[in-house]
Structure 1
Amino acid sequence: MTPAADNSVTVIPVEGATLWRAFHRLPQRLYAGDPNWVPPLLIERQTHFQAHHNAYFKHAKASFWLALKNGEPVGRMTAQIDFLHLEQHHDATGHFGFLEAIDDASVFAALLGKGEEWLRNEGIRRVLGPVSFNMWDEPGLLVDGFDTPPNVMMGHHLPYYQNRILEQGYTPAQDVLAYERSAQEPFGDILEKMIEKGKRKHAFAMRPIRMDKESFPGEIELIRDIINDAWADNWGFVPITYDELAEIGALFKLILKPEALVIAEYDGEPVGVAMMLPNINEFIKDLNGKLFPLGLVKLIWRLKTRNVKSGRLALMGVRRQYRTTPAGAVIALLMIKACQKTEYVRKAETAELSWILDSNEPIKRMLEAFGCHINKRYRIFEKTIG
């Protein structure tokens, strides 16, 4: 007589090479039939979870779990506490992230329950998620826009995830949006006149980041100062640290030219920053997550010889004192113009501007006047656990 299958879900901590391999490779099985999923580079994902490679862990702690059913991995998740968030908001809030699972309510219940238990034992009374790992990484669950692949450093999820999360008592806390427009479409007469009027009153200058060894540390600190000032009032804001930004900068320094990141100067003072990334997802989709032995060669060759069809304005900020002024609008428009001319995207068909808080009505109105439309919506959920 054949023993009955054990359909119960077991959640175990991720420890050792075998379980970490299962943790990172689970999405490949879940998304195997999704033509719009882009397999991430496994080596990048692996290092992202290692404290000595990710400066996030200098101010945070996390736990990592796998869900097993009949001995097979069927789900994964992290729960984390960002001490900078607690210092900023004093709200006893932790996060869950990197949630992936089969379409089974019991798997979601087991994973989220385990995360809540760990967070509660650490003194946390409210959970936000998915946030992977924090708001500077990949916040939110895709809830609209499943029919196209994600842009670089943006998430992609399966449609049933939202209902499985809601079933566990979570409610929507905030939406973050991805806007899109034609990369080659001109600004239009009204915006061009606004720019020309501003130029008659003040001196605006756009320059690329300085990447030489002597200047680079100072540039990173300048960018950090501008971004933290520009975003300080945003929902869920946590200041980005120098070490976190330096890690990102070191990675981009390997594959991008200085023109990809623009610093705006207003009457000689640095007041804004914007970064336009080529959508390298177009170049890595067929690598199946493998960078070695030939994936790295293919990626570098494609970056050097091919034009991307899309780019992403992944970072933009103007110091708060100028944000609601006519000069601030001119600074933002000039940075976008400069980014459009970068070598990587000057022949691109579309440009994504993300992410944008759904509650940020002034920016949304500006983007809509700029000819942008929403192409993806991501949602962050919350739950009280104390």
Structure 2
Amino acid sequence: MIESKYEDGCVTDVAAKTAEIEIVPVSDKRGRAAFVDLGRAFSDRLEHFVPQIRSEQIELVDPAKNPFFGHARVQLFIASRGGQPVGRISAHIDELALAMPAEQGFGPGTGFFGYFDAEDEDVARALLTAAEGWLVGEGMTRVLGPISLSIWEEPGLLVSGQDHPPMLLMGHHPAHYAGWIEAAGFTRAKTLYTYDLDITSGFGPLVDRLVQTGQRNPRINLRRVDKSRWDEEVATILAILNDAWSDNWGFVPFTPAEVAYAGKKLRAIIHEELNVIVEVDGRPVAFMLTFPDVNDALAKIKGKLFPFGWIYMLRWLRHPKGAGMRVPLMGVLKELHGTRMAGQLAFMMIEAIRLEAIGKFESTRGELGWVLEDNQGMLAIADTIKSKVNREYVIYERKLS
């Protein structure tokens, strides 16, 4: 078993660099911890990286805790050379993704790689080969990645935007990884964008008119999420999400277990003022989730809750004054797609949350995304509110023989 010790994250011995690369599959508790610690060591090298909480990272690769494993097969690998760990990768198969139509990006025969870190291009190639070999052995004919582990967790490789810290739930990777993956025969399957937004001023007369018209419409009721009945609200949001996103590239539905897991995880960063559901004629048809960027706090405590980081974290969670705000998810029922009302509801939600973020939390900046490169509706909304692409992520693909 590979030890989790990684020194300063660099292999400096010439003999070690020329030694044979060994790829070891890991699956037990110790191996998963080593896998996470190796990723953390790589991340520590990166400028603007924000350390995450180690226990939560371990939980994401634990089959007993992450409900993703309830419909997925996962194999983790660690690469070593000269006795030193020099890279890691996951190979995984999502049974729900296999059941989706091929024209939506996944479908039969599609496996994935994720959690990709490598010391150099030789290690990168060896890791990708190991992941592909495992997927072929499981009957897969195509590989996509990096997706770590679910499309709803951290999809894509950061190829642009390394010059500033990521917001929560978004990956941060060195620019040279893209060249190594492409040199191994991978091509771009899909590009994802995040958008930076100055929220200190409004979005112009057109948006103002749409919002005001919607506010006067007695059929439309925009309300805050009610944390006193949190489980019910989460179920409502996820029902809208599963419908609204069902035709999108890469869509995989949330399972009931994942709904419960996500609800429990997100509750601590939910502020009712920043999360809304819209009802039309009394029926929920749209939602928008906005989270204070917990990476602001994690950067201050360097990802460590103990001995005293938890005190700062609790205070921050109660009132994240000045925090950036991220909109990771929003959706409108599919029956309204392409209608004037769909856009109107979106702008109503954005404006309502913008005012709350400024007024209560003194925020100045927001971020939307990720957004698919061909999601014309969301691209149009992002353009209308004068947001700018600040990060670009790529999901790569390759046929397997």
> TM class, shorter-chain normalised?
over 0.9
2:366 counterpart residue number: 351
Q: How many correspondences in the alignment?
A: 382
Deviating more after overlay: 282-291 vs 37-46: 282-291
2:35 to 2, 15, 23: 23
* Shift in CA distance, 361/297, structure 1 to aligned 2, threshold 3 Å: same
Aligned pairs (5 A) from 1:152-301: 152-212=168-228, 215-301=229-315
Percent of residue pairs identical: 33
Q: 1:194 to 1:260 in 2, by over 3 A?
A: closer
- Partners in 1 of 2:319 and 2:276 — Cα distance? 23
Report if aligned partners of 1:43, 1:291 keep a CA contact under 8 Å in 2: no
Aligned with 2:48: secondary structure?
A: coil
Deviation for aligned residue 1:305? 5.0
Bigger drift between 47-56 and 73-82 goes to 47-56
Deviations, residues 13-51 of structure 1 (Å, cap 9, x unaligned)? 124454333311223332334330011110110111112
Amino acid in the other structure paired with 1:101: A
Residue of structure 2 in register with 1:74 after alignment = 86
CA shift, 1:200, in A, is 4.4
Residue of structure 2 in register with 1:100 after alignment:
117
Cα displacement (A) at 1:211: 2.5
Equivalent position of 1:311 in the other structure: 325
Q: Do the aligned partners of residues 200 and 301 (structure 1) sit closer, same or farther apart at CA in structure 2, a change above 3 Å counting?
A: closer
Instruction: Report how far residue 99 of structure 1 moved.
Output: 0.6
Structure 1 pair 255–293 and aligned structure 2 pair: CA distance change class (3 A): farther
**Alpha-carbon distance between aligned partners in 1 of 2:195 and 2:115, rounded to the nearest angstrom:** 23
Partner of 2:344 in structure 1? 330
Q: Which runs of 5+ in 1 are unaligned?
A: none
Matched, 1:48 2:65: no
Map Cα deviations across residues 182-229 of structure 1 (whole Å, 9 max, x no partner): 0222021111112233444552222222333xx333322221210011
Match of 2:72 in 1: 60
Q: State the 1:360 CA deviation.
A: 1.2
| Unaligned ranges ≥5, structure 2 | 1-13, 102-106
SS in structure 2 of the partner of residue 88 of structure 1: coil
**1:320-350 CA-partner distances (Å, limit 9, x unpaired):** 1112111111111111122224459741121
**Take 1:270 and 1:115, find their aligned partners in 2: how far apart are those partners?**
42
SS in 2 for 1:291: coil
Q: Residues 140 and 380 of structure 1 are in contact (CA less than 8 Å); yes or no, is this contact kept in structure 2? A: yes
Give the structure 2 partner of residue 11 of structure 1.
Answer: 23
Conserved? CA contact 2:39–2:88, under 8 Å? no
Q: Choose 159-168 or 218-227, whichever is displaced more.
A: 218-227
TM-score (norm 1): 0.93
**Aligned counterpart for 2:156 among listed residues 128, 136, 140:** 140
How far residue 55 of structure 1 moved from its aligned partner, in angstroms, is 1.0
Whichever residue aligns with residue 100 of structure 1, its letter is D
1:372 aligns with 2:384: no
Q: Residue 194 and residue 302 in structure 1: after superposition, are their counterparts in 2 closer, same or farther (change >3 A)?
A: closer
**Conservation of the 8 A alpha-carbon contact between 1:275 and 1:339:** no
Query: Quick one: distance in 2 between partners of 1:306 and 1:201?
Result: 33
Whole-Å Cα distance in 2 between the matches of residues 248 and 121 of structure 1? 32
SS in 2 for 1:363: helix
State how far apart, in whole Å, the 2-side matches of 1:321 and 1:153 are.
29
The Cα shift of 1:237 comes to 0.7
Return the letter of the residue paired with 2:113: F
Distance in 1 separating the partners of 2:43 and 2:217? 54
SS at match of 2:350: helix
Task: Please give the secondary structure, in 2, of the residue aligned with 1:127.
Answer: strand
> Greater shift after overlay, 254-263 or 225-234?
254-263
The residue number in structure 2 matching 1:384 is 399
Partner SS for 1:31: helix
